[in-house]
Amino acid sequence: MDQAVMSGGFVDPPIQSAWAFRAAMTAMARPGEIVTVDGGSAPAPVSVAASVLLLMLCDPGTPVWLASSHDSAALRRWIAFHTGAPVVQTKEQAVFALGKWDRLCPLAAFPVGTAEYPDRAATLIVEMDELQPEGAVLQGPGIKGSARLNLPDVAVFRANRALFPLGLDFFFTCGDRLAALPRSAVVTAAGGSV
């Protein structure tokens, strides 16, 4: 097995996993807040933040779907080596998905949970070219007043919110930074109405 596959994981897994979990949960609990993480380095083009999320979230019971922007033999081997998570062929099988927005879309095939098990929905890790506290307006649980985040498509997130308590959850990553958007967040265009 080559060095690129074996490297890039947590050096001190218990400590780094705990810090990563705290950062990810902070981001999910405070939609739009951008946090910084470190400790993971998957094969290119995966960002540090997305690498950390994969290391922290994935295990043998959480199938991962890779969009064409990120699907490579090296990344598949890295995920298998560091997390044991199976990489699946279809969106319908995914618990987690990774890729650029345009390659993740359309989103309709990803599981949004069921009335009995709303937690059986996919979480998408969206790799962004930039991550800024500007653009779309976010409101809802965990947000004091409102927050802003440069989301790729406001209409998609509004439609996702309409499914609540079902729906997808999102992490947005860029470099060593990440932000989250749970399905409970209300999203409006800048200057728009709810």
- pLDDT for 15-68, tens place per residue? 999 999 999 999 999 999 999 999 999 999 999 999 999 999 999 999 999 999
Say how many domains are in the chain: 1
134 class by beta-carbon count within 10 Å (0-12 exposed, 13-18 middle, 19+ buried): exposed
Is residue 194 assigned to a domain?
no
CATH of the domain at 48: 3.40.50.11310
Please indicate, yes or no, if residue 80 is contained in any of the structural domains.
Answer: yes
For residue 193, tell me if it sits in a domain: no
**What's the pLDDT tens digit per position in 67-88?**
999 999 999 999 999 999 999 9
pLDDT, one tens digit per residue, over 84-117 is: 999 999 999 999 999 999 999 999 999 999 999 9
Element (H, E) at 172: strand 169-174
Helix pair 73-83, 48-57: axis angle to 10 deg: 40
Given pLDDT bands bounded at 50, 70 and 90, which one contains residue 120?
Answer: very high
- Whether 26 maps to a domain, the answer reads yes
Residue 39: domain span: 3-188
3-state secondary structure of 169: strand
